[in-house]
Amino acid sequence: MATEEVNKPPSLPSYPQLIMNAIEALNDKNGSNKTSISKYIESKYGDLPAGHTTLLSHHLNRMKQTGELVFLKNNYMKADPNAPPKRGRGRPPKPKVPLPPGVVLTPARPRGRPPKDPNAPITSSKPGTGKPRGRPRKMARPEGGITGNSTLMSTGSGRPRGRPPKVKTSPLTEVSVGH
């Protein structure tokens, strides 16, 4: 955009001024559309920058956003100076009720957990039951010799953990019986 501003002849007014002049000169009660504004500017000021249509669109949108122009039915009109300001998005905030005199506001409580008092006595609270916390320890193995499979002993049922091993079938060999 800076190069377009440099290439612009000094006699050419700013784009917002050009747009306002065009709308005033066209003087249509329903407003003027973008093409009529562009044609008026091109006829009045012959040598325009290369990106004239882009610049015109940009400035029309910006003037519409700021409230200098009103966009209605694809036409741009000058904003009414007596019109109330445009309402913002969302629900407006509730009006604050003034406090009666003599009432003192307490400061709001800060977010988060309050810090611990360093001067407070340390109290060790023990759980109500005599059991220790967490998972109980595994049972100790008996000192005597272990007979049989250790996996059978530890599980409690007669079957070891996991999938049973695949039984290997030995191919049957034919035995010839002599007569």
Q: Are 65 and 88 in contact (CB under 8 A)?
A: no
Q: Characterize the bridge pairing of strands 75-78 and 69-72.
A: antiparallel
Whether the pLDDT of residue 89 is over 70: the answer is yes
The pLDDT tens digits for 32-86 are 899 999 888 888 887 788 888 898 899 999 988 888 888 888 888 887 777 666 6
How many Cβ atoms from other residues are within 10 Å of residue 93's Cβ?
6
Confidence category of residue 127, pLDDT binned at 50, 70, 90: low
What is the pLDDT at residue 151? 47
Q: Is the dihedral of CA 42, 47, 52, 57 positive or negative?
A: negative
Q: What is the spatial distance between Cα 79 and Cα 83, in angstroms, rounded to a whole number?
A: 8
> Is the overall model pTM greater than 0.75, yes or no?
no
Domains of the chain (ranges, CATH numbers): 2-78 (1.10.10.10)
Whole-number average pLDDT of the chain: 78
Q: How many residues does the chain have?
A: 179
Residues forming a β-bridge with 139: none
